[in-house]
A and B are shown apart, each in its own frame.
Chain A
Amino acid sequence: NAGVTQTPKFRVLKTGQSMTLLCAQDMNHEYMYWYRQDPGMGLRLIHYSVGEGTTAKGEVPDGYNVSRLKKQNFLLGLESAAPSQTSVYFCASSYGLGTATYNEQFFGPGTRLTVL
C-alpha cells in the first residue's frame, strides 16, 4: 500500500493564481482531511470529508474549496492565491465511525506552497 500520497510536493504561485492539490489514499478510508501547518504552530484543519460526495468546513476554510468525487481522492483548491496561504499542506485519512481506531489519522508527506 502507498498509504496517503500528495501531489505536487512543491509549488510556487503568484498572487491571484489558482491551483489544485491532490490527495489520494489506498486504504479504503471513509474520512479525509486537509490541514495547513505554519511555523511555530500545529496543524490547523481547513476542510474535511466524511465520505464520498460530502465535505465540511474546518477551523480555517476561507480561501479554499474542496471536492470528494471519489472515495479515494480529496482535492483542495485555491481559487485566487494570497501570500497568507504560503504554508505546508497535509492531507490525512482515517477509518469511519464504528471502528476502534476511527480517530487515528494517517498523513501524507505534505505539499510546500509558496505564494509570491
Chain B
Amino acid sequence: GESVGLHLPTLSVQEGDNSIINCAYSNSASDYFIWYKQESGKGPQFIIDIRSNMDKRQGQRVTVLLNKTVKHLSLQIAATQPGDSAVYFCAENRGDSSYKLIFGSGTRLLVRP
C-alpha cells in the first residue's frame, strides 16, 4: 500500500490496552471536530465527531474528549485491536460557515500483538 506520513508521530500500544491519541487545534472559533482513520492505501474513514457545545462523545469502543479551554481534542480507543493500526487524523471546521475541514498532520497507531 501507499506510504502515508513517513515522519508521523507514532503511538505503539499492546493489544488489549487503551489508546489515547491527542490533537491540538489553533482556532478558538472552530465549532466542529472529526476524527478520521486512514489505513494504508485507503482513503480516510469517519470514526466519530463532536460539536463545540459538548465535552465528550462516545461511540463503539471510541470516545472523543474536547477541552475548549486549552484547545485540545483526544481520541480514546478501548481494548485496542490489531485492526486499529492506522493513521488517525483530527479535523476541525472553523466556524465560519465555510463547511471546509482543516486537517492535522496525523498520528500513526501501531498495535503490538
Query: Interface residues, chain A, CB within 8 Å of chain B?
Result: 4, 31, 33, 37, 39-45, 48, 50, 58, 88, 90, 92, 94, 97, 101-110, 112
Instruction: Tell me the smallest distance from the CB of A78 to a CB of chain B, in Å.
Output: 19
Top 9 closest A-B pairs, CB basis? A107-B43, A42-B103, A40-B7, A39-B6, A43-B103, A42-B105, A107-B44, A103-B32, A109-B43
Question: Contacts A48-B100, A50-B99 given: A39-B45 contact, CB under 8 Å?
Answer: no
Spell out B's residues near A (CB within 8 Å).
Answer: 2-8, 32, 34, 36, 41-46, 49, 89, 91, 93, 97, 99-101, 103-106
Extra contacts, 11 of them, besides A41-B5, A42-B103 (Cβ < 8 A), are A31-B99, A39-B4, A39-B7, A43-B44, A43-B89, A43-B103, A45-B101, A50-B99, A92-B43, A101-B49, A110-B42
